[in-house]
Structure formats: C-alpha cells, structure tokens
Amino acid sequence: MVGARPNFMKAAPVMRALAESGQAQQLLVHSGQHYDFNMSDVFFQELGIPAPDFNLQAGSGSHAQQTAEIMKLFEPVVLEQRPDLVLVYGDVNSTLAAALVCAKLLVPIGHVEAGLRSFDRTMPEEVNRILTDQVSDFLFTPSRDGDQNLAHEGVAPEKVHLVGNVMIDTLIRMLPKSQEHAMRDLPERFAVVTLHRPSNVDDLAWLGAMIQTLEEVSHNLQVLFPIHPRTRQRLVEAGLGNGRDNGLRLLKPLSYLEFLALESRATVVITDSGGIQEETTYLRVPCLTVRENTERPATVEAGTNVLVGRSLDRIRSEIARILAGNTKQGQVPPLWDGCAARRIAEIITTRC
C-alpha cells in the first residue's frame, strides 16, 4: 500500500525484489493521498512502478478525514483480496490508515522504515510511526537507532529486522540516469531548498522570514526552490507566491530524476524533509535541516546533516561556512548499500 510521494521511492525496490524472487503475488493499492501528476504519476513512470491494482482516490482533508477515508476505502479491498501480508511504508497518514485496517482484520503487516523516532509528538508523522510500529508484525528498520527505539517501546525483538535503507536502494539505481535530467542552465554552485512541514510553512510570519533570508542568500548563491503544493498555497496566502527575479527561483515540484540531478550537484541543500536528509548523507552533500529534531539521527551523527532549528542566523552562518569550503565530512551508515529491498524480500518469502 502506498499513498504519498515519499512512499513511492521506498515501494519501488521492494516490489522489484519481490517480483524477482518469483515467490510472491503482489497487488498494489494507492490510497490517492497524493494525486497531482507531479506528486504521484511521474514517480510511477520514472521508477517503473506498475500501475496500482486499486486506486482509492481518498484525496486531501484534515488528518481525521483523510485517515478515516483511506481506512473506509481500504477495508473492502483487504476483505475481498485476503492478502497474507500488507506492506506499508514510512510515516504518512496512508501508512497508519492501512496498518489500522489490517490490525483489526488480523492481516499481518510489514512496516518498511520502522523504528524511526523524532520524539516530537507535535509532528503528525511521529504519531503515525509509533502507532504503525505497535501493530506491525514485521518491522524493517533502516538503522540501529530504529532497533533501539523499538526495544525501548517493548516490541518483541524477533519482529525487528535491520535491513538498511530502501530509499537509498532507489537512489543508487537511479543516480546515473538522473544526470540526463539536470536543468540546463545550472550554475557551478547553487543551493536547493524544500520546505513543506506544517511547523515551517503554516506559520506565515516564519515562512516570510525564511523567504527573506533565502533571498539574501541568493545574492551570493543561486537558490532553487521546488515548491510543494501545501507550501505554494501558504506562499499565495502570505502574498509571497511570485518567484523573485534575483537568484531565488521558485519551481514546480520536480520529478524524482530531476530532483536527484539537482540534489547530487548542489553546494548545499536546505530542507525539512525526512528522506532528503538521508539522500544528502549518501551523496555527501551538505544538508541544513530546518527542524529542531530528526527521526534520522544517523544523518547527523555519521552524515552531512546539520540541524539548524528555527534560526535564520544559523542558516546564514552555516551557508557562509560551506561557501568557505569548510564542509562537514560525512560517512554513509551501514547497510545503506542498495540491497535493503532484497533483504526484505528474503525475509518475507521465507517467513510468510
């Protein structure tokens, strides 16, 4: 089951590995949480994900509405198809909705990217992570901290499988191809920005202050900002919806290959995304995360990620440091090696 943009690059390698095993019949359900062409279809095309067998078209809404709608639409599919296992990915509302449906129908659940914790329950994703893990039967973790978090929460160790990072499987497979999709007029040095978390974009005063800082930064370093639909709406509400003519370029949401081409060549990435913290660590590209915490501590401890919190001064000073050539040297965490999905497929096909 998939639903939102960050699910697609995680499901693609797992579906491929299960198909290659020849031992599993698969059905793909798309909740429809993300539905725009450039938030969904383009990822299916580029990543070679088969068309969904079921598209629930649940769409947007409040958290309760969206989660409930997905549950109502997903339950009959599970009742009719009677799967031996349902795989859910990451921490979006579709993940928890599908997991709750299966838990009540006593259908086994595999959670890919289990165990991550920001310890910040104001994030909707943290609630989704904790609850999905509690009802899952197979918990596939990307890094050791995930295993430790699950142990602290009393999850039985035999349910937990440290397999590595499936998002990095996709990155490794697609990186060579992505280079054909680089924007033509890229300067030698540039920054890439993505912001979409409610904590950053729903506070219009803070969003405005960040845009102003990015405009300042863009006098020295071109800033490319592909804009998530939620952020686009907020910028329009704040009267900031038009791209400025200087170095700050506001772009539509990019495809997987277009974004990877940018990210892999960037001088610095400024983000509040989860997956981008991991991708920049793998690519050894400096990353400034505009959050107070992260559920992906390996990217800070081993990788190139720096948490700048809600500090515009910190963003300015970190960028100055990076432009002076003083960048954090990162390591790639263990098992982020392109083989995580194969490990998952092996576990599933031997135990289910």
For position 167 contacting ligand UD1 by CB under 6 A, the verdict is: no
Shortest distance (Å) from residue 223 CB to ligand UD1: 20
Q: Does 35 bind ligand UD1 (CB under 6 A)?
A: yes
CB of residue 232 to ligand UD1, shortest distance in Å: 8
Burial annotation 236-262 (CB, 10 A radius, 16+ → b, else e) = eeeebeeeeeebbbbbebbbbbbbbbb
Residue 131 binds to ligand UD1 (criterion: CB under 6 A)? no
By beta-carbon proximity to ligand UD1, the closer residue of 34 and 161 is 34
Tell me if 124 contacts ligand UD1 by CB under 6 A. Answer: yes
Q: Per CB under 6 A, does 111 bind ligand UD1?
A: no
Closest CA to 290 of 152, 196, 167, 215: 196
Return the SS3 of 250: strand
Kindly determine how many residues on this chain lie close enough to bind ligand UD1 according to the rule CB under 6 A: 19
5 binds ligand UD1 (CB under 6 A): yes
Exposure string over 20-48, b if 16+ CB within 10 A, otherwise e: eeeebeeebbbbbbbbeebbbebbbebbe
The answer to whether 18 touches 54, Cβ cutoff 8 Å, is: no
Does 196 participate in catalysis according to the annotation? yes
Alpha-carbon distance of 188 to 50, in angstroms, equals 37
Distances (CA, A) of 262 to 10, 158, 182, 187, 327: 20, 40, 6, 11, 18
Find the part of the chain contacting ligand UD1 (CB under 6 A) among 91-99, 163-171, 206-214, 293-301: 91-99
Burial readout 110-137 (b: 16 or more C-beta within 10 A, e: otherwise): bbbbbbbbbeeeebbbbebbeebbeebb
Of the pair 4, 257, the CB lying nearest ligand UD1 is at 4
Contact map string, positions 191 to 210, toward ligand UD1, x by CB under 6 A: -----x--------------
Among 78, 89, 93, 277, binds ligand UD1 (CB under 6 A): 93
Give the interface segment with ligand UD1, choosing from 30-38, 147-155, 181-189, 300-308 (CB under 6 A): 30-38
| Least separation in angstroms between CB 28 and ligand UD1 | 18
What's the full length of the chain, in residues?
A: 352
Residue of 7, 35, 24 whose CA lies nearest to 96: 7
In the bound state with ligand UD1, the residue whose beta carbon lies nearer, of 252 and 351, is 252
The reply to whether 125 sits near ligand UD1 by the rule CB under 6 A is yes
- Tell whether residue 34 is a contact of ligand UD1 (CB under 6 A): yes
Which of residues 33, 178, 277, 299 is near ligand UD1 by CB under 6 A?
33
Nearer to ligand UD1 among residue 60 and residue 179 (C-beta): 60
Bridge partners, 225 (sequence order): 250
Question: Least separation, in Å, of the C-beta of 341 and ligand UD1?
Answer: 21
Contacts of 315 (CB under 8 A, 6+ apart): 213, 217, 270, 288, 290, 308
229 near ligand UD1, judged by CB under 6 A: yes
Name the 3-class secondary structure at 110.
strand
Q: Does position 52 bind ligand UD1 by CB under 6 A? A: no
Q: DSSP assignment, residue 2?
A: B
Q: Residue 22: CA atoms inside 13 Å, Cβ hemisphere, count?
A: 0
The set of catalytic residues is 196
Chain contacts with ligand UD1 (rule: CB under 6 A): 4-6, 33-36, 39, 60, 66, 91-93, 124-125, 196, 228-230
